[in-house]
Chains A and B, each alone.
Chain A
Amino acid sequence: MAVLFGFLTAAPAAAQDVQLRSLDGSIELSGTLIGFDGEYYRVESIFGPLTISAEGVTCRGPGCPNLDNFVAEVRFAGAPAIADQMLPALIARFAAARGMVVRRQILARNRSLFALVREADETIAARFYVTSTTTDAALQALLDRDTDIALATRPPDAAEAEAARAADQGDLSLVSRSRVLALDALVVLVAPTNPADAITLAELASVFAGEIINWGDLGGPDAPVALHLMAEETGHGQDVAARVLGPFGRDAAPDVTRHTNLADLADAVARDPFAIGIGSYARPANARIIPLQGNCGFVQHATENSLKSNDYPLTAPLLAYLPVRRMPQLVRDFLRFFESQEADRVIRRLGFVNQDISAQPMARQGNRLANAILSAGEETGLQDLQRLITTMTGTERLSPTLRFEEGTTELDAQSLSAVSRLARSIEQGAFDGRELIFAGFSDGQGDAGANLRLSRGRSEAVRLAVIAASTDGDLNRVTLRTVGFGEALPMACDDTVAGRAVNRRVEVWLR
């Protein structure tokens, strides 16, 4: 049985002496090996610490790692949705595509080692340690360097971001530090036998705050409402507190039944016709998802398209936060694998939504125009609508839709990921000879003229971000145009924070 246990890790190795010589023999460097990631030596030399590509040099001396036996190691920790569900399936697919088999060793109840073993010679290429815990604990572990990659179902809050800076872990909001692995959403669940057809965000907050306690007050039968949420210490539970209850200044009622597993929650709801729960789009189990409704009449269903475009107000990206330091090559390959079509298929099979760019013809979006006409009035006139329709005609709407903080041109995490996907597609020539229109919109708060300027500014900000990200693309083969429509085409009611956030956007139209 030829299993080689690697003796080198990405962790700092003990001081060792190495002598690196360029292949033509012209340059020689001696020093102490600080680390080796399978690709680069990091050497403490008389010039200070240097990083040198292993490809161009030969290594001599007792400190030299065995290049063939290098085992890439990485530790993941985080939310069960990612750690228990998504990662194992993606590791398996990633390994299979590279002629490797996966050996999973269960180390503890919530911790596994996935060894990637080359089929050809039975040697270990990588060890992925995966710990299933909470988003909280994972972000803390990232700060404490107890994990390399934190898996989160919500972005770090202000305190966590500040703690990261204090711990010399840099700025977690940077694009280079985070990846959107897939998309999920907070969804409202009821039993299949429950007649409820939609609920407003305001009603939802009142229900879970214990203010509405009877289905009769929601247009249903006279029966008490049974409440189900994820545990408070889970990322999902915290997301509900921040995005469902927080905007209305409410806290969860004390008699909420709390769960630690999303499928358990959904099945508990499915068994009780008078139950309501907030679960996840990816794991409705046997319960039924009902849409959100705005007071002004908009209904928002959680669908693959509405999650991709972030039009559903409670979309929740699954995030990975990376360390400042360089990761071994195979680990970086694995993270890049998440952007592949193969990974997209696995993500979709698991019930999550991938970020594959899809197109919807405008012809299928008649209701959006109807909404525009309905909400037109003093501030949005006939001319504005005509300009909007002229621009839209003959285009398709691409799924990436960019969203902004209130009053700013700052993109959120899912939007940054969408910019990156768009840039990759441009680089691959997917839009050659065509026109991409960045159509900016605002919410309806404030002065229409200011909103129009803000929407133009946002579309320009997106254009610049896409150009900056398309480093390898030929931007002459595609036309990038910006246009702003202010508050002309609302997609959600402006009376809630979540609704306004949905409306503040830049859509991408393809002609």
Chain B
Amino acid sequence: MTLSLKAITIATLGIGGISLGALATQADGVAAERAATIALAASAPAMPMDAPRAPTLTQPAPMQLAQSNVAGGAIPQQELSPFGLPCGLSVTTTAIEGARVALDIMDPCQPFSRVVIEHSGLNLTGRTDVMGLLTMDVPAFETPAFFTVRMPDGASDSALAIISDLEDFYRVGLQWNENRALELHALEFGATYGEEGHIWHGNSGTVERAVSGAGGFVSMVGNADVDSPMMAQIYSLPRDTLNDAGNVRLSIEAPVTEDNCGQDTMARTLELEEDGSVAVIELTFTFPGCDAVGEYLVLQNLLQDLRVASN
């Protein structure tokens, strides 16, 4: 397959034509709004086709285990989910290969709910399943890696993981709000589009590829099947295990579609620096107009090339 690419001039924005508000601020507002309507959640969100179906429940409203308390003594009330599991949010993190974290998020009383995951400037949305469970593997940007999980009902929990192999990787992230279908592209060591060293979600590489020293991989994280989704693509390249030395060029691209044409877009770039800090730059731009549908938006120079020194 050959790709025909076309750089497009980005439509000029007027000042104030786009919101400069913090991504997090907006996300919080959305979370609050969701919290207000979550009582109706059971019938509302469209489930993905392959999601396991819930038992035929009309209202998974939390049940109360304890009867009403007797005067004089407060007997703790334990709320249970429709499956009989105790309500409440729990988050566990496990460091896994490729300087990533396996997140296990569980809140049995909040199935099919929008979950916000925050980590080192990265904000992602996820969606719990029928059991209230959500798992996600996220490349880490810091160690100890601190993850905060926020539920629509306002509950939040945090967990830490030690990422012992974080310094083995160069890592660059691109996160965006809404359904904008942004793509992170890496051209490794002089590769051109469509070659094996062109790593993007259409040829994402694997953790095994990185560990063996052949090249990098791109991780697609976040779930778009929620209101106000926040998604990210994260490129990781091993620092020392590579045989090649040279340069990896990075660009941000997106097909212009009926959904995103002419849309104001909020994104952010995250670059893991050598001293362990993460440079986060919030980014706003406007997609080309709808007469450009079918073409590709290419944003160069927003991410620094990765320079791999020879051993």
A binding-site residues for B, Cβ under 8 Å: 1, 3, 5, 80, 84-85, 88-89, 92-93, 96, 101-109, 113, 115, 117, 122, 132, 261, 263, 266-267, 270-271, 283-286, 345, 349-351
Contacts and interface: CB of A to CB of B under 8 A. Distances in A.
A107 B307 CA distance: 28
Given A5-B16, A284-B247, A286-B246, A102 B281 contact: yes
Nearest to B282: A103
A3 B304 contact: no
A84 B301 contact: yes
Contacts of A101: 22, 280, 282
A1 B285 CA distance: 19
22 contacts: A85-B304, A88-B302, A89-B279, A101-B22, A102-B281, A104-B282, A104-B302, A105-B284, A106-B284, A106-B299, A107-B12, A113-B15, A117-B20, A117-B22, A122-B22, A263-B249, A267-B249, A283-B305, A286-B189, A286-B246, A345-B275, A350-B304
A3 B20 contact: yes
B265 to A, nearest CB: 9
A105 B279 contact: no
B21 A3 contact: yes
Contacts of A80: 301
Contact of B190 (A1, A89, A261, A270): A270
Nearest to B298: A109
Interface string B11-48: 01101101111100110000000000000000000000
A45 B120 CA distance: 52
B5 interface: no
For chain B, the bracket of interface size reads: 35 or more
A378 B190 CA distance: 53
Contacts of A284: 247
Given A92-B279, A108-B12, A103 B273 contact: no
B19 A1 contact: yes
Contacts of A107: 12-13
A349 B280 contact: no
Name which of A104, A261, A271 has the most chain B CB atoms within 10 A of its CB.
A104
Contacts of B300: 261
Interface of B: 9-10, 12-13, 15-16, 18-22, 25-26, 189-190, 246-247, 249, 273-275, 277, 279-286, 299-302, 304-305, 307
A115 B16 CA distance: 12
Of residues A101, A105, A271, which shows the largest number of chain B Cβ atoms within 10 Å of its Cβ?
A: A105
A105 B13 contact: yes
B207 to A, nearest CB: 24
A284 B189 CA distance: 11
For chain A, what secondary structure do more than half of its interface residues adopt (helix, strand, loop), or is it mixed? mixed
A285 B18 contact: no
Nearest to A122: B22
A267 B9 contact: no
B8 to A, nearest CB: 8
B303 to A, nearest CB: 10
B252 to A, nearest CB: 10
A97 to B, nearest CB: 11
Contacts of A285: 190, 246-247, 249, 305
Given A1-B26, A89-B304, A270-B190, A108 B279 contact: no
Contacts of A104: 281-284, 302
Contact of A92 (B22, B281, B301): B281
Q: Which 8 A-B pairs have the closest CB atoms?
A: A106-B285, A286-B190, A1-B21, A84-B301, A286-B246, A285-B247, A103-B282, A105-B284
A283 B277 CA distance: 24
B20 A115 contact: yes
Nearest to B305: A263
A408 B141 CA distance: 54
B247 A286 contact: yes
A284 B16 CA distance: 39
A258 B22 CA distance: 41
Given A106-B10, A107-B12, 4 more contacts: A84-B301, A89-B279, A108-B9, A271-B190
Which one of B9, B10, B20, B26 has the highest number of Cβ atoms from chain A below 10 Å of its Cβ? B20
A345 B246 CA distance: 20
Contacts of B189: 286
A88 B301 CA distance: 10
Contacts of A113: 15
B173 to A, nearest CB: 14
A271 B280 CA distance: 33
A1 B301 CA distance: 29
Nearest to A89: B304
A349 B273 contact: yes
B305 A103 contact: no
Nearest to A109: B9
Contact of A263 (B19, B247, B274): B247
B33 to A, nearest CB: 14
A102 B278 CA distance: 13
A436 to B, nearest CB: 32
A283 B15 CA distance: 34
A96 B270 CA distance: 13
A271 B274 CA distance: 29
Contacts of B305: 263, 283, 285
A89 B280 CA distance: 10
A1 B25 contact: yes
B274 A349 contact: yes
B140 to A, nearest CB: 20
A103 B12 CA distance: 17
Most chain B CB within 10 A, of A266, A283, A285, is at A285
